[in-house]
A = this chain, B = another copy of it.
Amino acid sequence: MAEDSIRSHTGVGGASTINDVARLAGVSIKTVSRVMNNEPNVRQETRDKVQAAADSLRYRPNLLARSLAGSRSFLLALFYDNPNANYINDMQRGVIRRTRESNYHLLIEPQDSQAPDLAQRITNLLGTIRLDGVILTPPLCDMPVVLDAIEAAGVPYVRVSSVTAPERSATVAMNESKAAYEMTQYLLTQGHTDIGFVLGHPDHGASHLRHEGFRRAMDEAGLTVPPERVGQGYFSYESGVEAGDAILSAPTRPTAIFASSDYMALGVMTSARKLGLRIPEDISICGFDDVPGAMRIWPALTTIRHPAEALAYAAADILLCRETGEGAADAQQILPFRLIERQSVRKL
């Protein structure tokens, strides 16, 4: 036995295995397995003995071996196709905060939603790596071919900010429509009645919900929105500049513009500056998302805080609770948002 334990210490790559621990503790590998997995039905004395052996050998169960033998891979994957680094970063942070609580790990799998072989790529991936769960963000979460491929592989998944087919999987989201509604009400409260709006990317469901919230608030206030007050954007800064140019070059100008994403709002700001307009003196501008840059400009941007990290945490939580059988993972979770009032909107 002394020889064995010495042998198991042999340098780099000679990591100790369950066999080494079993030998040193004088038990079977099954007992070691029970102790390492905190299973019941092990005498405390035995448990201590095994733990001591494991500690002295610096034993770490091999995740790959556990995965192959067992039914879990301890791996989650995040699928996304989104150029917004902040959004992706928030998502990753939220998921990892949760996976670390359960000793899970995160694989990132950016996917080109335009790729003709998208479904095949996903099928290949899921066939190659046994994942315990997949988290989908827009626009992937609303693509039937994506959902079909994941379901065919039998992998659990949760969708973030999905706007379609709620019955197909658990989802987490914020109330986009309500947030846009409240932001519009805020503008009205500040005395603005002639308000421009910049639409988001038509492929993202949130765009339509935000637009809808804006319209509803305007309708309820008895206000109409002329077509020249609405610009088409695609969530990007550049598209915000263009939409801003379009709206601001109309014969008359609105007193405020609600861009349905912060990057577009920054674009509208640039458009306004190019025209020599002061913000917020000549034109009020507000956004949606609360990206870090929103408060890193002057004037800081009034916006809606999208709870991206919390959404990601919640999505991972649903997957991991299902895995361990704990708790009832809500089918459709709605997380709160917050209106962040800064300096880019003035009171008329």
Interface residues of A (CB under 8 A from B): 12-13, 15, 58, 60-65, 67-68, 73, 85-86, 88-90, 92-93, 96, 103, 105-110, 123-124, 127-130, 152-154, 237, 263, 266-267, 269-270, 273-274, 292-293, 296-298
Contacts and interface: CB of A to CB of B under 8 A. Distances in A.
**Interface SS, A side:** helix
B96 A64 contact: no
A136 to B, nearest CB: 17
Given A92-B108, A266-B297, A130 B85 contact: no
A346 to B, nearest CB: 16
A93 B110 contact: yes
Given A63-B129, A89-B88, A105-B107, A154 B13 contact: yes
Contacts of A12: 152-154
The count of identical subunits is: 2
Nearest to A93: B110
Contacts of A109: 105
Given A85-B89, A273-B298, A293-B293, A127 B96 contact: no
Contact of A60 (B58, B124, B273, B296): B124
Contacts of A13: 154
28 contacts: A12-B152, A12-B154, A15-B127, A58-B123, A58-B127, A60-B124, A61-B128, A63-B128, A63-B129, A64-B68, A64-B73, A64-B130, A65-B68, A85-B85, A85-B292, A89-B89, A92-B108, A105-B129, A106-B108, A107-B107, A237-B292, A263-B296, A266-B296, A267-B296, A269-B298, A274-B298, A293-B293, A297-B297
A270 B296 contact: yes
Contacts of A60: 124, 127-128
B106 A107 contact: yes
A113 to B, nearest CB: 16
